Amino acid sequence: MIIQLNNSVTENQHSALINKLTENKFSINEVNTQLEKYLVCIGKNEIDIREIGHLPGIKDVHIVSDSYKLVSKKWKVKDTSIDLGNNVIIGKEDPTIMAGPCSVESEEQIDKIIEHLIDQDIKIIRGGVFKPRSSPYAFRGLGIDGLKMMYEKCKPHNIKIITEVMQVSQIEEMLPFVDVFQVGARNSQNFNLLDALGEIDKPVLLKRGVSGTIEELLSSAEYVFSKGNEKLILCERGIRTFETAYRNTFDINAIQVLKEKTHLPVIADPSHGVGIRSFVPKLALSALLSGADGIIYEVHDKPEEAFSDGQQTLNFMESAKLIEKIKLLYRSSIFN
């Protein structure tokens, strides 16, 4: 059960409510986010919500049968949107496009990519500076200096930055330079990291784990929300299956399932989803047709020279063609 409190709830009203819930043997999780105050109550006893709903200090009471609560669509039917400022809103009618290199490599590279993003009217750059790599000998990113460099270059153009955070100790130093923290597939169930991201006031894009179920993704999102950060975005990026003909199996079903189960925005990552450059554009379009709120994809001026994931990275021409097709798609009557 989720009890939404009035933001002006008094101490007396609050303790009367806690007493009532304790009497009824509920365990109570207090959640204070940037926007709202909630009590997430877990209990075996049935309770007539009218007994609680009339108490002073309460805005609303919702029974949620899912194991995850705050991220469930069962209590919040209206989709959530995340405002990054300067009119960049994730989860509105227009699809969100995030594009950039797998890894931030150099000033020259970022200059060229920014120019491409501006040409294509793309408002959010992606680019990792802390890279999770399967081999310890592969390029592992430029670190915080790379992020600062990217920030200085993006700032004059109001380009927002999404980048991966790999561990709790990086959050604080990254905070001023990041618009959206990305939690990578390998960290999708790093509960300490999720807890820590719950304590900041910056949006978090949470990727589905390499072998993660949809329910596990939603439960991970619940970790962040229940610690106080409700600015959350989910990302389908493909899962590991028995298939070896491509890097990952993009789970197109997950888009519709997630949109039905949660009010959070859902973004698709076709680059990691298939891992083969020539397949990325059609997969991106398919994900949007399936109801994704946007896409995140890898682009580079010379993908064949990229420090990481070049095989799945679009060049500028391919990226421009994709954007053109997305525009055509949204201009058509297909979404009406």
Q: Which is nearer to ligand PEP, 116 or 207 (CB)?
A: 207
Cα 101 to Cα 64: distance, rounded to the nearest angstrom:
40
Which residues between 7 and 66 bind ligand PEP (CB under 6 A)? none
Of 30, 34, 127, residue with least CA distance to 80: 34
The verdict on 76 binding ligand PEP (CB under 6 A) reads no
Are 322 and 314 contacting, i.e. CB atoms less than 8 angstroms apart? yes
Which of these segments, 71-79, 95-103, 107-115, 208-216, binds Mn ion (CB under 5 A)?
Answer: 95-103
**Token code pair at residue 48:** 């007539």
DSSP class per residue in 240-274: --S--SSS-B--HHHHHHHHHHBSS-EEE-HHHHH
Considering only 91, 146, 184, 265, the residue that binds ligand PEP (CB under 6 A) is 184
Q: Which residue is nearest to Mn ion (CB)?
A: 102
Considering only 235, 309, 323, 326, the residue that binds Mn ion (CB under 5 A) is 309
Considering only 52, 102, 166, 214, the residue that binds Mn ion (CB under 5 A) is 102
The verdict on 295 binding ligand PEP (CB under 6 A) reads no
The verdict on 166 binding Mn ion (CB under 5 A) reads no
**Token code pair at residue 131:** 């890279």
Q: Which is nearer to Mn ion, 92 or 246 (CB)?
A: 246
Angle between the N-to-C axes of helices 280-289 and 252-261, in degrees from 0 to 180, rounded to the nearest 10: 30
**Sign of the dihedral through C-alpha 236, 237, 240, 243:** positive
Place of tokens 């990578």: 184
Which residues between 214 and 273 bind ligand PEP (CB under 6 A)? 237, 269, 272
Q: Which is nearer to ligand PEP, 68 or 250 (CB)?
A: 250
| Contact set with ligand PEP (CB under 6 A) | 102, 128, 132, 184-186, 207, 237, 269, 272
